[in-house]
Amino acid sequence: MISKVFGCLILMLLFVGVFGANSANADDYFILPNPIFAAYAHPIGEFNVDIWIGVFENGYGPGDVDLTSLTVNGSLVPAGAEILPHDYFGGDALKISVDITEFLPPYGILWDTVIQDYSVSGNYNDETPFLIEGSFTSLGHISGNVNGDNQVNIQDLNFMVNDFFRGGPSPVFLAAGDVDGSCGAPNMRDLNYMVNFIFRGGPTPTHCTD
């Protein structure tokens, strides 16, 4: 669960991917913070992804962007877009904000560590289109991590025992308890699977691939 204290996720990009016909080098952009956790899709309170773009090619600058034309990942309309000064760029930069609950879900259920692509598209004020393409590291859910501490160990087995036999809480992300990958709700087969993994060197927890 994400506290309101962490209500703003900042992805800072110097310039990313393709601007018109020209490509940027990897050294020309970065993302902070990186990685992004899959759990960020379920925050407490407002939680935005902020994309900062400070350098454009072909003689364009942040002030040349038509802010009403911007989309993220092809269809997501930003919650806000504005031109603000930023110390890193030594001048004005374009800040694009999108709601994390709209940004992450279209990627589907994220498992393990995966590189995800994203894009920003729009027009300059002279109607010239631009496309910015980049990537971020996603830390997805971990099969067997039913107690939400990002580890799989005996604590998760105890959590499952409490859930099944003692009226304890169910996993916040239920699919993490489907450790045998049967694509169903967690059950005794999953509990036995965890016992074999923890105590008998059995196969590691897996997840539904459908």
Q: Which residues are registered as beta bridge partners of 114? A: 138
Q: What are the structure tokens assigned to 32, written together?
A: 């902070």
Q: Is the pTM of this model over 0.75?
A: no
pLDDT tens digit string along 89-101?
A: 888 989 999 999 9
Domain regions of the chain by residue span: 4-139, 143-210
Do the Cβ atoms of 109 and 41 come closer than 8 Å? no
pLDDT tens digit string along 11-52?
A: 443 333 344 434 444 334 556 566 788 877 777 777 888 888
Question: What superfamily in CATH does domain 143-210 come from?
Answer: Dockerin domain (1.10.1330.10)
Do the Cβ atoms of 202 and 190 come closer than 8 Å? no
